[in-house]
Structure 1
Amino acid sequence: MAAQTEEIAGLVESVIRPLIDNPDDLVIDARETEDGSIFVEVRVNEEDAGKVIGRQGRVIKAIRTLARAAASSTNTHVDVELLD
């Protein structure tokens, strides 16, 4: 399961990194929770948060959809959160 967690984190990183102006400030922490789901925390520079969220949250919703679709083959729940 750890391999899948790393793959999901890599997917999220590969989608977010081209969107932001300060890629050195990107921090992604992915871990498996007690119930077997994957929780991905994303931290970006304060200036880049709006780009990751997008208008009306469309970009972050799309990132969540991609991550969940990638994990759907193993019926694993994925949650992606953008932290301040």
Structure 2
Amino acid sequence: MKALIETIVTSLVDYPEDIIVTEKEEETKIVYHLQVNGEDVGKVIGKNGRIAKAIRTIVYATKTDGNKRIYLDIM
């Protein structure tokens, strides 16, 4: 899942080397924290959050473990 997030975001940003995706697994959920360069935050979020919503939709649709919920936080 980390590779999927990195692949999607890499095509959107100007500084792909600054992309950091960390995973935190809990009992009922898995949270992915996405960090990008400060200049790229607007590109990842998009106008009115449309790009962030689209990224989240893709990540949520490709979840592999049916028991845990997946969350994506953009920092």
**RMSD (CA atoms):** 1.4
Which of structure 1's runs of 4+ aligned residues deviate more than 4 A? Answer: none
Quote the offset at 1:9 in angstroms: 1.2
Q: TM-score, normalised by structure 1?
A: 0.81
Amino acid at match of 1:26: I
Quote the offset at 1:70 in angstroms: 0.3
Quote the offset at 1:28 in angstroms: 0.5
Cα 1:58/1:72, change in 2 over 3 Å: farther
The gaps in structure 2 that reach 5 residues or longer are none
The gaps in structure 1 that reach 5 residues or longer are 1-7
Which deviates the most, 63-72 or 11-20? 63-72
Aligned mate of 1:45, from 37, 40, 44:
37
Aligned mate of 1:79, from 52, 68, 71:
71
Q: Secondary structure at the match of 1:19?
A: coil
Report how many aligned residue pairs link the two structures.
75
Inter-partner Cα distance in structure 2 for 1:73 and 1:34: 12
Q: After superposition, give the CA deviation of every residue in 1:13-46 in whole Å (9 maximum; x if it has no partner).
A: 11001100001111110121132x2100000000
Structure number with higher helix proportion: 1
The equivalent residue for 1:69 is 61
Which deviates the most, 43-52 or 74-83? 74-83
Q: After superposition, give the CA deviation of every residue in 1:36-77 in whole Å (9 maximum; x if it has no partner).
A: x21000000000000000010001111111111001662431
The equivalent residue for 1:28 is 21
Q: TM-score, normalised by structure 2?
A: 0.90
Cα 1:75/1:68, change in 2 over 3 Å: farther
